[in-house]
Copies of this chain bind each other. A is one copy, B any other.
Amino acid sequence: MDDDPATEILEATYRALCEHGYADLTMKDIAAESERSKAAIHYHYDSKENLFVEFLDYLFERYTDHLTAAEDGRPRDRLFELLEVVLGETEAKPGQEFRTAMLEVKAQAPYAPAIRERLERFDEYLLDHVTETVEAGVEAGEFDESVEPGDAAEFLVTAITGAHTRRVTVDRSTEELANLLQGYIERTLLVDEKSEDAD
């Protein structure tokens, strides 16, 4: 167990969220997963929303660590690696309970500005990361010079978001969708998949 009370509470929040979902989650549920009492948790966080905002910050830190881990290699390979990080389904990845709870949280965004702000941070980080990778690919001559990095990134982030939603809603494998996105990158971004003779 982590000795830092904040981290221990956030890890308990993760477990409680997977078990109860977001709408039904109470401070009592979190206390039940924690080594700390409900009163001790209230001492750190005065409301479920405040605790949850901290929890999203904690997830964001882990998320950016995972994404920056895929920063070596050619831009094309970095994009494929990124798809694996955000859409791969392995035992080490969060399960359906967590993904479902996060979809519930997304539906809170219009009513909870602090939550929306955090969700925007995830979206923008991914968008910037993909934009920079596509830009690097265009500069290196690996991606077609007609590719507009911002548009390609917006498109990929939208498809990645849709893959997460459909995984929860209609149980569509995100890994299969990652393969389709890889096909999109090969067909529309890469120079060597297009006519090399084009002006």
Q: Chain A: residues with CB nearer than 8 A to chain B?
A: 21, 23, 96-97, 100-101, 103-104, 106-107, 109-111, 116, 119-120, 123-124, 151, 154-155, 157-166, 168-172, 176-177, 180-181, 183-184, 187-188, 195, 198
Q: Which of B116, B159, B163, B188 contacts A170 (CB 8 A)?
A: B116
Query: How far in angstroms is the closest Cβ of chain B from A56?
Result: 12
Report the bound CA distance from A15 to B100 in whole Å.
25
The residue in chain B whose Cβ has the minimal distance to the Cβ of A158 is B162
Interface SS of A by simple majority: helix
Query: How far in angstroms is the closest Cβ of chain B from A109?
Result: 5
Q: Which of B151, B165, B169, B180 contacts A155 (CB 8 A)?
A: B180
**B96 and A169: CB pair below 8 A?**
no
The residue in chain B whose Cβ has the minimal distance to the Cβ of A146 is B187
Residues of B within 8 A of A124 (CB): 170
The residue in chain B whose Cβ has the minimal distance to the Cβ of A176 is B154
Interface centre among A120, A166, A187 (most CB of B within 10 A): A166
Q: Which of B104, B172, B183 contacts A104 (CB 8 A)?
A: B104
Residues of B within 8 A of A164 (CB): 162, 165
Residues of B within 8 A of A119 (CB): 169-170
**B154 and A180: CB pair below 8 A?**
yes
**B104 and A169: CB pair below 8 A?**
no
Report the bound CA distance from A172 to B23 in whole Å.
24
Query: How far in angstroms is the closest Cβ of chain B from A59?
Result: 14
Query: How far in angstroms is the closest Cβ of chain B from A48?
Result: 13
Known: A103-B103, A104-B107, A110-B168. Contact between A158 and B187, CB under 8 A? no
Residues of B within 8 A of A169 (CB): 106, 109, 116, 119-120, 123, 161
